[in-house]
Amino acid sequence: MATTTDEVLQHEFVNVNGIRMHYVTMGNGPLIVFLHGFPEFWYSWRHQIPFFSKHFKVVVPDMRGYGETERPTEINEYRIEKLVTDIVELIYSLGREKATIVGHDWGGAIAWSIAIMAPGIVEKLIIMDAPHPAVFQRNAFRNYEQMQKSWYIFFFLLQNVPESMLSRNNFELLKYVFEISIKRKKKFTQRDIEGYVSSWRKEGGITGGINYYRSNLNAEFWGSLDQSIPFPKIKSPTLQIWGEEDLFLGEELTEGTNEFVDAPFSLKIIPNCGHWIQQEAPEEVNQIIEEFLDYDLNKN
């Protein structure tokens, strides 16, 4: 899993919000933080770290419950408020007051939540294949096609059964689902896949990620779908990037996102690309982000 720039890629640990968090960092300059999703770890950003370290201090944590970061056993330890506080305290621990936040999948959900709950810390916001929470709620029980794609959410709410099934035969099922959802298969090597498997094998290595679903998409959440939640509008310049062939999240989950952003907003759809967008289309993703950051800097 080594990159060609391992000699300058630093592994660090910090105590934040009651846990010991592992992160990798490279470069100097304005802070940009990349947040991974399920079922990954910092390695999912391997194509972005060296690229953006030329102009930024890149920081990529293993999120709570993943990789070398601590994995609390209590489900309530994975509430979205705690996940947000983890990253806010990480940024402050680095001596910074603001950062550009980039998130994919669950990392994207957390990035949206940071911009909602701690807006002052977000310089710019970049979201990949993660709907705004209001858009997700709007589609949850009204979009039959998306309900079919989201079957796994309900499966993950069960206790112990998901871990047992996903870990069977050296995570054969999880590897299968991971691999069939990759559209640009040449961008992943067997070594990449085995790198994820080695992370899943750690004690509690898959439970932490599943607990994100159990803690936040539970009966309380589904019971509140008929209620209108007044989300405050995002005040930071926002970029949303989406893989057109995402197996889990339909492109329609981008519709209406601009309603919830009171700042410059842009949406980029990458064709012939699946859910694992920053790994399947690294060159396109990096260029889109670079242009967005340059655009915003020029506007200032």
- pLDDT tens for residues 162-196? 999 999 999 999 999 888 999 999 999 889 999 99
Report H helices in the chain.
Answer: 49-52, 80-93, 106-117, 133-140, 144-149, 151-156, 161-180, 190-200, 207-216, 219-223, 277-280, 282-299
Q: Is the pTM of this model over 0.85?
A: yes
16 beta partners: 19
Q: Tell me which residues are annotated as active site.
A: 105, 213, 275
User: Does 295 have pLDDT greater than 80?
Assistant: no
User: Does 42 have pLDDT greater than 50?
Assistant: yes
Higher pLDDT: 288 or 298? It is: 288
Quick one: average pLDDT of 184-210?
92
Q: What is the pLDDT of residue 7?
A: 54
Q: Which CATH architecture has domain 6-299?
A: 3-Layer(aba) Sandwich (3.40)
For 231-252, the pLDDT digits (tens) are 899 999 999 999 999 999 999 9
CA distance 172 to 17: 34
Q: What is the pLDDT of residue 231?
A: 86
User: Does 47 have pLDDT greater than 70?
Assistant: yes
What does the mean pLDDT of the chain come to? Answer: 90
> Whats the size of the chain, residue-wise?
300
Residue position matching structure tokens 């699946």? 274
Q: What is the pLDDT of residue 225?
A: 55
